[in-house]
Amino acid sequence: MLVRYFVSYPAAFSQIAECHPFTRVPNMLSLSPNGIAFICVVTVFAYSLRGVTGFGAVAAMPLMGLVVPMKVLVPVWTVLSFCGSATILRRDRGNIAWADLLRLFPTCMLGIGIGLIFFTQLDSRTLAQGLGVMAVLYGGFSLRASIQPAGAAASPEGAPAEGASVPPDGARAQAAAGPTTSRLLSPWGDARLAGLLGGAVGTTFGALSSLFFAMHFDAIGMPKDYFRATMSLAIVVIAFVRGLGYLAIGGFTRDVLLLLAITLPMTFAGIFIGERVQTGFSELTFRRLVNVTLILSGFALLVSQ
């Protein structure tokens, strides 16, 4: 609405409009057919992977950042993350660790507020560079977790590393046993730190908050079945709150709505395909493929800027 107001009265408000953070990004209508096709293919592939394995969609964001301005991409990705995680909750909603989840939210809301300030003040180029760095770090952490021996750290994409030991009686047995010494010493056992960083980073760049949540869930020894469902609900909740924040600061511009019109059907198509596809690859193979894609696309995003 604010941008439309400026466009309607360019003579009176041209100087103010020039300062508005959402009027300096390229017009989405200038995207070439090849750019639109690239966005569609990346979205369908990423969410097909999400439908097959329950993780991996995050790999699409740095790839899309190569052709879409971050000021446009971040609000769009927030909506797509909400929809993608909500589909997992349809199957796993009975395995949510509510107590652990609620501990994250107070500082996470504070982090979202901080992230909105950074998102508003930084330009698309700086945001893209930051996303590139975070994608490389995220992919590197997850790749390292996927090659650790059994019982090692959780992968940030939605479940502990394949082969990690899980007590037979689920969360209650884990809670009764208590965390190991190494987990007690980990700073990520503090939900306040994980919530603050997850909210701030996720809101600034539109993704990657699950990295901090995953490290926290691993530090407290959350079992695998509870891990994925709790992570999905955390993403749904913070995506909803972030979306309200972007709406409040005028982030849902015409370009954002145009990109949503392209990507939202592709997202549901990808999930539909993924839930019906059977592959001969293990989850570990998929996970490593996603990690390598994140690292390479993060470097590509840095070079392109």
Query: Which string of b and e fits 128-140 if b means at least 16 CB within 10 Å?
Result: bbbbbebbbebbe
Mean pLDDT confidence for 144-148: 79
- Sorting pLDDT into bands at 50, 70 and 90, what band is 274? confident
Tally the domains of the chain: 1
Distances (CA, A) of 194 to 202, 210, 294: 11, 9, 22
Residue 38 has pLDDT above 50, yes or no: yes
Q: In terms of pLDDT, which residue wins out, 136 or 49?
A: 136
Percent share of the chain, pLDDT over 90: 43
Q: Tokens representing 279?
A: 């592959």
Mean pLDDT confidence for 217-228: 84
Q: In terms of pLDDT, which residue wins out, 221 or 115?
A: 115
Which pLDDT does position 10 carry in this prediction? 34
**Residues 198/238, Cβ–Cβ less than 8 Å:** yes
Mean pLDDT confidence for 162-179: 42
Which pLDDT does position 95 carry in this prediction? 85
CA distance 264 to 80: 7
Helix 70-92 × helix 224-248 angle, to 10°: 140
Mean pLDDT comparison of 41-50, 90-99, 179-188, 254-263, highest-scoring range: 254-263
Output the CA angle 92-97-99, nearest 5 degrees.
150
Q: Which residues on neighbouring strands pair with residue 155, listed in sequence order?
A: 159
Q: In terms of pLDDT, which residue wins out, 153 or 262?
A: 262
CA distance 24 to 74: 15
In the DSSP assignment, the letter for residue 149 is P
* pTM strictly above 0.95: no
**Residues 271/91, Cβ–Cβ less than 8 Å:** no
- Sorting pLDDT into bands at 50, 70 and 90, what band is 89? confident
- Sorting pLDDT into bands at 50, 70 and 90, what band is 288? confident
Helix 33-53 × helix 283-304 angle, to 10°: 150
Distances (CA, A) of 49 to 60, 62, 170, 305: 10, 16, 27, 28
Residue 170 has pLDDT above 90, yes or no: no
Which pLDDT does position 277 carry in this prediction? 75
Q: In terms of residue numbers, what domain contains 143?
A: 2-304
Which pLDDT does position 53 carry in this prediction? 66
- Residue 298 identity (one-letter amino acid): G
CA distance 286 to 195: 27
Residue 203 has pLDDT above 90, yes or no: yes
